[in-house]
Amino acid sequence: MRTSRILFPLLLGAGLVACRQQAPVPPPAPKPLTVPASSGEDSGALSSDAKPARAAQVDVLKGTDWPPIRVTSGEASISCEAEDPAPEIVIEPPAASPRPVPREAAAPVPAAPEAEAGTSASAAGQGEPAAGTTTDAAAAAPVLPGALSELDFKSVSAAVAPCREKALVRVRYKGKIGSDFTALMQRVSAMADRLHIGRRILDIDSTGGRVEDAMPAGDAIAESQWTIRVRQDAICHSACVLVLAAGDDRRIAGRIGIHRMIRVGSKANTRAELSQELREVYGEMKDYLERNGASVAVADLMMTVPNRSLRLLSETELKEYGLSGENAVQDDLDRIRLARRCGDEFVKRRDAYQRDYDRQCTVADPSGQSALDLEACAKPLREQYGFPDAKCLADSPVAVLPATQARAGAVAAEEGRH
């Protein structure tokens, strides 16, 4: 008996030690990824004393006499589709087999005078093309569909008006963030307001630019509730991150990178003088991030990354800093507006419905469910929570739309906002 009393604690202790030894070691936290900025990018987010042109301000857009502005910092285009159409597959017929050339025809033929002069591009593929001619390479150069370069009232109206029928406008922009980009977002937003186009998407691909232009562009985006997308083949670096912060919804597949601001035309000779030059715009940037629902830590982090490097933000960091997904400030504002229209009780009831819908009807991947399956699940829930509500019919959760609708599991929430 004494032996068993001694052995039992020993065995128990040995078991505990074995368990502790077998416990998995947590993986080390991933280190922040900092890479050199490529030679094609600005060395830092640009800042200067120059202010955006008065012509880019929103107050001048209430009439039709819009001061002329041209997009020169990048390429912009307008589309009325949520996605790009699938590329056409062109199957070329097989090339005909060359016919045998008779021996007597194989003798060299004297060159024509124009070929000797080098003005013909067809002479054995040599020589420069004649002036005014179009080579195959030039003909194959991509032309941006729906390109928008002039931002006067007539040009913007002509580009956006076809989108009225689908109630969706999409801007694709690739280039720098400058005052012309600010004007682009302000003017397309103003035109979409005139035409009552509620859904707005910005596909952006930018290495950055001036922070003083990025912030008013972001304010125009915030006031108009744009969805911002950074596609897998796109980037959003430097001052572009400030634009990203303002989106109503941010869908990110590409790379997001930040680095320090650099002062254009700086007269600083010491760190203190440079800090003083940047202090005003740094404070404006923090206020801007705060009012758009992003963490002011983004501004602090930017100032620690040398301007010739890029600190790439992980998916976790993007969420923590409020730079991806739905904008928290916009969500709060939407709820406040909804409560004013329909009452607090309606908002609580709708929230409860949405939670049960997400838990009960979208447990599987929505793309694998048919519209009928989702509707069969949602209908009794709507009846349970008293929807549609006769007093707030337009804001009530609606019947599930076809599965081709984006984010089928959250149709009611998303369509209610737009």
For residues 400 and 274, state if they share a domain. no
Predicted local confidence at residue 412, as pLDDT: 38
In a domain, 137, yes or no: no
For the CA atoms of 204, 213, 292, 297, the dihedral, rounded to the nearest 10 degrees, stands at: 90
Does one domain contain both 298 and 338?
Answer: no
Q: Residue 135 and residue 195: Cα distance in Å, rounded? A: 42
Tell me, yes or no, whether 38 lies in a domain. no
**What is the number of H-type helices and E-type strands within the chain?**
14, 12
Angle at 44 between CA 40 and CA 50, to 5 degrees: 105
> Is the model's pLDDT at 322 over the cut of 60?
yes
Host H or E run for residue 189: helix 179-194
Length of the chain: 418
CA 133 to chain centre: 39
* Contact indicator for 261, 278 with CB cutoff of 8 Å: yes
Whether residue 184 is predicted with pLDDT greater than 70 in this model: the reply is yes
Q: Please report whether residue 190 resides in a domain.
A: yes
> Are residues 303 and 245 located together in one domain of the fold?
yes
- Do residues 317 and 337 share a domain? no
Are residues 402 and 306 part of one domain? Answer: no
Q: Are residues 59 and 155 in the same domain?
A: yes
Of 326, 351, 380, which closes a domain? 326
In sequence order, the 6+-apart residues with CB closer than 8 A to the CB of 284 are 215
* Chain segment 233-275, per-residue pLDDT in tens: 999 999 999 999 999 999 999 999 999 887 777 788 888 888 8
Spatial distance between the Cα atoms of 233 and 84, rounded to a whole number of angstroms: 14
- Residue that is written with structure tokens 């939407």 in the block: 334
Crossing angle for the helix pair 344-361 and 371-384, to the nearest 10 degrees: 140
Of residues 322 and 128, more confidence is placed in: 322
Pair (188, 337) in one structural domain: no
Indicate if 158 and 302 belong to the same structural domain. yes
Q: Are residues 290 and 384 in the same domain?
A: no
Q: Round to whole Å and give the CA distance between 383 and 375.
A: 12
At residue 390, does pLDDT exceed 80? yes
111 falls within a domain:
no
- Alpha-carbon radius of gyration of the chain: 30
> Which of residues 326, 358, 391 is at a domain's end?
326
Same domain as 377, residue 301: no
202: domain CATH number? 3.90.226.10
Stronger pLDDT, 228 or 336, i.e. the higher one: 228
Question: Is the four-CA dihedral 311, 317, 321, 325 of positive or negative sign?
Answer: positive
Query: What is the pTM (predicted TM-score) of this model?
Result: 0.68
Residue 382 lies in a domain: yes
Per-residue model confidence (pLDDT) at position 125: 34
Q: Give the count of beta carbons closer than 10 Å to the beta carbon of residue 94.
A: 6
pLDDT of 45 over the 50 cut: yes
Report whether pLDDT(122) > 50.
no
Please give the residue range of the domain that contains residue 368.
329-417
**Residue 39 is assigned to a structural domain of this protein:** no
Say if 31 falls within a structural domain. Answer: no
How far is it, in rounded angstroms, from Cα 71 to Cα 39? 23
Query: Could you tell me the pLDDT band of residue 376, with boundaries at 50, 70 and 90?
Result: confident
The answer to whether 73 touches 177, Cβ cutoff 8 Å, is: yes
Q: Is residue 401 part of a domain?
A: yes
Total domain count, the chain: 2
CA distance 179 to 282: 19
Residues 66 and 178 in one domain: yes
Q: Does the structure show a pLDDT above 70 at 76? A: yes
Among candidate residues 356, 352, 211, the one with its CA nearest the CA of residue 285: 211
| pLDDT for 398 | 77
Burial class (CB in 10 A: 0-12, 13-18, 19+), 142: exposed
Q: Which of 12-21, 179-188, 303-312, 391-400 has the lowest mean pLDDT?
A: 12-21
The pairing of beta strand 261-263 with beta strand 249-252: unpaired
- pLDDT: is 209 or 12 the higher one? 209
Burial, 315: exposed, middle or buried (Cβ in 10 Å; 0-12, 13-18, 19+)? exposed
pLDDT at residue 411 in the model: 36
Q: Which of 140-144, 149-153, 341-345 has the highest mean pLDDT?
A: 149-153
Helix (H) or strand (E) holding 45: strand 45-47
Residues 352 and 206 in one domain: no
Question: Which of 256, 291, 326 corresponds to the end of one domain?
Answer: 326
DSSP 168: E
pLDDT band at 99 (very low <50, low <70, confident <90, very high): very low
Mean pLDDT, the chain, whole residue set: 75
